[in-house]
Every structure is written in structure tokens, then in C-alpha cells.
Amino acid sequence: MPNPSWLRAAALTTVLVLSVTVAGCDSDADDKDEDLAAQELSWKDCPAPSESQGGGEAPSALPNDDQWQCATLRVPLDWDEPKRDTIGLALIRAEASGAKEKRIGSLVFNFGGPGSSGVASLPAFANKFAHLRTRYDLVSFDPRGVGRSAGVECLSDEQLDEYFQQDATPDNAAERRTLLEDTKAFNSACEKNSEKILPHLRTTDAARDLDLMRQVLDNNKLHYFGISYGTELGGVYAHLFPKKVGRTVFDAVVDPTRNPEQRSLGQAKGFQLALDNFAEDCTSKQEPCPLGNTVQDVKDRIARLLKDLDSKPIPGAFPRELTQTVATGGIAQALYSQDYWEYLTKGLQQAYAGDGTVLMLLADAMNGRNENGEYSNIAAANVSINCADSKPRYTTADVEEKLPQFREASPLFGDYLAWGLLGCTDWPVPGAVDDPDVSAAGAAPILVIGNTGDPATPYEGARKMVDELGKGVGVELTYRGQGHGAYGNGNKCVRDAVDGYLLDGRVPSTGQVCS
């Protein structure tokens, strides 16, 4: 999903991650004229993960002791000069479990971010997609700039610890200068350490990678499941290659008509709605809510906590402290899924008692920090891809002008999201467009699912995506639920609609509602 402050939004994924050995830039003259579409992938058992993918152990065996397999796909570094240097994209697959004669092909997943490692995410969530595996090879990948696919490098682990402690909601001129200096230092480090890849991280580049992947996987059409930012990538692919669109699902849909300011404002409203729903859930139960007696009481106590943390942080995960910014990120992270509301309740209770550990661990999950203090490159990749895509560059004056509107949208998250607009201010590569073109006349039907309670990709974006895809392409499905996305929540109505389309080709009636 798009990151609300360019650095701090990725779905909460406390997951096992893994790595593959990936080619770096390959300028071997003997390879330059090779037809990349004719390459053969060398699938092997997946090794243990790299730090850039989050660390941990290799993925557990699939049912029936089938093993996850990993490979490297070579793609052009620069799609404008495809015969020159190449980079390697890390791929992972679980081969179809059903009868070979019923196999449809490969179903390619992108789990969002931008910056999420598909090689890490697919094994973690495989149980949610087990039924789809009966007729598909489940495939995912680290997009360019992510994980082991020529992953962007910016700050060291120690520097990131300090960076994420910064005050991201400045209250005076001195704090504003510090925020700008810290942002510029981060962006300069990205340029210093990853200069060669930064100009080639646009979503259009990733979409072209997808089409090469389709060809190498020997699929006539791309069957695709995009989640959050993955819906934007899928929409751009559909625009570029409408005749190659196969059975496709978009879940947790990005609004393709909005620029960064509008998206962040939409997220302010979305996270505020999710917080309201969280407080309503807590106070409506038979047992007393430990966070307050009324919805407003719950929200007021959270606001007071954040205000106090601005001037007086409390102990967090030793030796770090829970600051206002870290706490805000931790709260936002827990709102991505109703499954994590209990952790938010526990974290707030602890914080009121002077212990910031749980809220800090939630923020760590958002920022890609594991228990060993190592960071994946999700923050670096997220900034790099967003800034390569988005043309607007904002100033402190722009943010100050827009603050009242953001605060009206969300008293809790407004400042946090408004100041996040500065993330690309000093980025070394110009942004490509104001908003992506996803018009896809002539494409096969794309099932577009909007969740009415989604904090990060607000529900209205689904209808906008349907409209932009064009007549006869987008098929809208509404899920009346909570959290980021719909299919993973286990709702039978949603799962039946998605599985019926992907497995049997049954296109749902547009406008269907699931609750």
C-alpha cells in the first residue's frame, strides 16, 4: 500500500522471510544480445533469508512435504535500453497441488508496499491461498529495488534506529529544520548507496518486468492477484498490456486518480475511521473497556498519551524510547487488521502505565525491524518507488497550508500524514506522473474489491479504479468489514466470489456486497 509518510506504511507482516541468490547488474557483453524471454529459470529449494528480506529461517515445507522453490529472473535494468545491463529478480513458487490436467497456469501475487518482499510474504500467507493452489502454481517475487532484487540500500541499521526516533510532527521552526535535514540525509544516503537503480524503479518498469515474467513462466495471459500497491501495479500492467490480462483480482484498492497529497488525506480519514471503529468495538462489549468508558474517552486518552510523549518519551524496547512518532506508527500499524486490535489494547494499557514496549514492537513491524535489530529494506524501497513514481514535490510551506485540512480529517493522524509529504522533497530522481494511467480498454474482467473499513486504501478507491479501468473491465465487489483488504479476512462471500473467478472463470455480478 502507499506509505502514509513515505516510510511508514506496510501491512503488519511478522512473517518468515527468505532469500534467493540474485544477480546484480550484469554488463557481460556475451549476454547483451540474448533474448531474455527465452531464458529458462533454474528452480531450487529456497535458502534462508537475507537481512534485506527481514531475516529468519527458510520457509517450512508445504503440505505433502512439497518444497518452496526459488529462482532468479533476469530483466533489463533500463527498459528503454533492454539490450544493455540486467538485474535479477527473486522469484518463489509453490507448484500446483491438483491434477496436472486441471492446472490453469501461474498465479502471480504482489502483496503491496510498495516495498514488500513477495518472496517473504507468499510463504507466510500460503494457507490463505491453499485452495487456489489446486489449479495454479502460486508465484511471487521481490520487485525491482526490493529485498534481493537489486534492493535499494540507504541507512545502516544503527542509523535507522535513530532515524525512526525522529520527531515527524514538528511544532516549531527548529523541529521543522531537523525533520528536513533528517529527510535529506536519508535521501542522500539512498543516492550514495544505490545510485544506479534509483532511476529505474517506476511502476511502469515493474509492470514490464511482470510481462517478461509471464512469458518466461510460459503463460499466454498474466493471472494476477494484487493487494494494496499491488492493485496499482496491476492497473498499470493492464494499461500497458490489456490483451495479456488474464484472471485478475485487485484487493485493498489504491485510488489511481489521486496524487500523494490526496492519498495521504484519504488515509487520514481512513485511519481515523478505523480508530473510531476500534474504540466503538472496545466500548460496546459487555465487559468494561480498559481504555475508556466511551468512544470519545478512548480517543481523548490516546491523544493525551501522544501529546505527553512529544515532550517526555517513555521506555520502549530497550534501549530505545517510545516517542510520539513511534507510538503513532505503532497505533496505525495495529489498525491494519482487526486481528491486531487486542495488541493495540494491550499496548495502550502498557503505555499508560509507562511501558512502551508493545507499541514500539508494532512500529518495528511497520518499519521492517526484526528482533535482532536488523532492518529489511522495505523503508528504502518504499521511498524509492514512491518518489520515482510521483511527480509532486512538497515544501514546508505546502504542508503548513494543508495542515488544517489534515487535522480536520484526523485529529490523531493528520499531522503525521501531512508532514510525511516531505519524503520526496530532496529526492535525486524526478517523479514520473501525478497519478498512474490504468485505463485498459479491451482487457479481460478484473475483480476489484473494496473494504468499507479499510484504513490505508479507503473504500472509495475501488469505485475509482473500476471507473478508470474502463467500461466492461472493472467488476466491483464491496466487503463491509474492517482492516486492510478483504480476501484474507476469511469472509465466505468474498472467498467464494474470488475463488469462483480465479478457479472457474465465473465473473461475479458487479455491485455485489458481502458482509
The tens digit of pLDDT for each residue in 396-429 reads: 999 999 999 999 999 999 999 999 999 999 999 9
Q: Is 18 helix (H, G, I), strand (E, B) or coil?
A: coil
Candidates 216, 185, 263; CA nearest to 86 is 216
**Residue 4, pLDDT above cutoff 70:** no
**Residue 130, pLDDT above cutoff 50:** yes
Helix axes 260-284 and 341-352, enclosed angle (nearest 10): 80
Q: In the prediction, which pLDDT does 3 show? A: 41
What burial class does residue 100 get, using C-beta atoms within 10 Å of its C-beta: 0-12 exposed, 13-18 middle, 19+ buried?
exposed
Strands of 142-238, DSSP E: 222-227
Which H or E element spans position 382? Answer: helix 378-389
Tell me the C-alpha distance between 97 and 95, whole Å. 6
Candidates 130, 108, 109, 6; CA nearest to 485 is 109
- With pLDDT > 70 as the criterion, what percentage of the chain qualifies? 93
Task: Please give the average per-residue pLDDT across 318-328, as a whole number.
Answer: 97
329 contacts 363 by C-beta, under 8 angstroms = yes
Q: What is the DSSP string of 306-354?
A: HHHHHHS-EE-STT-EE-HHHHHHHHHHHTT-GGGHHHHHHHHHHHHTT
What burial class does residue 45 get, using C-beta atoms within 10 Å of its C-beta: 0-12 exposed, 13-18 middle, 19+ buried?
exposed
**Which band of pLDDT confidence, cut at 50, 70 and 90, is reported for residue 34?**
low
Tell me the C-alpha distance between 165 and 483, whole Å. 26
C-alpha cell at 176: 521543522
**Which band of pLDDT confidence, cut at 50, 70 and 90, is reported for residue 26?**
very low
C-alpha cell at 351: 503505555
Q: What is the mean pLDDT of the chain?
A: 92
**Residue 298, pLDDT above cutoff 80:** yes
Candidates 207, 260, 195; CA nearest to 431 is 260
Tell me the C-alpha distance between 472 and 466, whole Å. 9
Cα 357 to Cα 302, 313, 320, 353, 427, distances in angstroms? 16, 12, 9, 11, 33
Judged by average pLDDT, the poorest of 23-37, 275-289, 421-435, 474-488 is 23-37
Candidates 246, 303, 262; CA nearest to 460 is 262
CB contact burial 432-447 (16+ within 10 A = b; e otherwise): beebbebbbeebbbbb
The tens digit of pLDDT for each residue in 382-401 reads: 999 999 999 999 999 999 99
Q: In the prediction, which pLDDT does 458 show? A: 96
Task: Please give the average per-residue pLDDT across 199-226, as a whole number.
Answer: 98
Q: In the prediction, which pLDDT does 64 show? A: 83
First-to-last C-alpha distance (Å) of the chain: 23
**Residue 7, pLDDT above cutoff 80:** no
Q: In the prediction, which pLDDT does 29 show? A: 32
pTM over 0.75: yes
394 contacts 421 by C-beta, under 8 angstroms = yes
73 contacts 105 by C-beta, under 8 angstroms = no
377 contacts 384 by C-beta, under 8 angstroms = no
Q: In the prediction, which pLDDT does 24 show? A: 34
Q: Verify cis geometry, omega within 30 degrees of 0, for the bond prior to 458.
A: no
The tens digit of pLDDT for each residue in 467-509 reads: 999 999 999 999 999 999 999 999 999 999 999 999 999 999 9
Task: Please give the average per-residue pLDDT across 9-38, as a whole number.
Answer: 42
421 contacts 264 by C-beta, under 8 angstroms = yes
DSSP state of 369: B
**Residue 191, pLDDT above cutoff 60:** yes
Q: In the prediction, which pLDDT does 27 show? A: 35
C-alpha cell at 49: 533469508
The two counts, helices (H) then strands (E), for the chain are: 15, 12
The tens digit of pLDDT for each residue in 439-457 reads: 999 999 999 999 999 999 9
Q: In the prediction, which pLDDT does 374 show? A: 96
Tell me the C-alpha distance between 122 and 132, whole Å. 13
**Which band of pLDDT confidence, cut at 50, 70 and 90, is reported for residue 50?**
confident
Task: Please give the average per-residue pLDDT across 223-244, as a whole number.
Answer: 98
Q: In the prediction, which pLDDT does 295 show? A: 97
191 contacts 406 by C-beta, under 8 angstroms = no
**Residue 31, pLDDT above cutoff 90:** no
Task: Please give the average per-residue pLDDT across 105-129, as a whole number.
Answer: 96
Candidates 336, 334, 312; CA nearest to 324 is 312
Q: How crowded is residue 60: how many other Cβ atoms within 10 Å of its Cβ?
A: 10
Q: Is 474 helix (H, G, I), strand (E, B) or coil?
A: strand
Task: Please give the average per-residue pLDDT across 133-137, as a whole number.
Answer: 98
Q: In the prediction, which pLDDT does 65 show? A: 86
Which residue is it, cell 522533497?
425
The tens digit of pLDDT for each residue in 51-71 reads: 999 888 999 999 888 999 999
Candidates 508, 512, 501, 510; CA nearest to 247 is 501
Q: In the prediction, which pLDDT does 63 show? A: 87
- Residues recognised as catalytic: 228, 454, 484
**Residue 94, pLDDT above cutoff 60:** yes
Phi-psi region of 258 (alpha: psi -120 to 50; beta: other; left: phi over 0): beta
Tell me the backbone φ, ψ of residue 57, rounded to 5 degrees: -105, 165
Query: Any bridge partners for residue 109, and if so which?
Result: 140, 225
Q: Verify cis geometry, omega within 30 degrees of 0, for the bond prior to 114.
A: yes
Q: In the prediction, which pLDDT does 18 show? A: 26
C-alpha cell at 127: 494457507
Tell me the backbone φ, ψ of residue 314, rounded to 5 degrees: -120, 165
Residues in the chain: 515
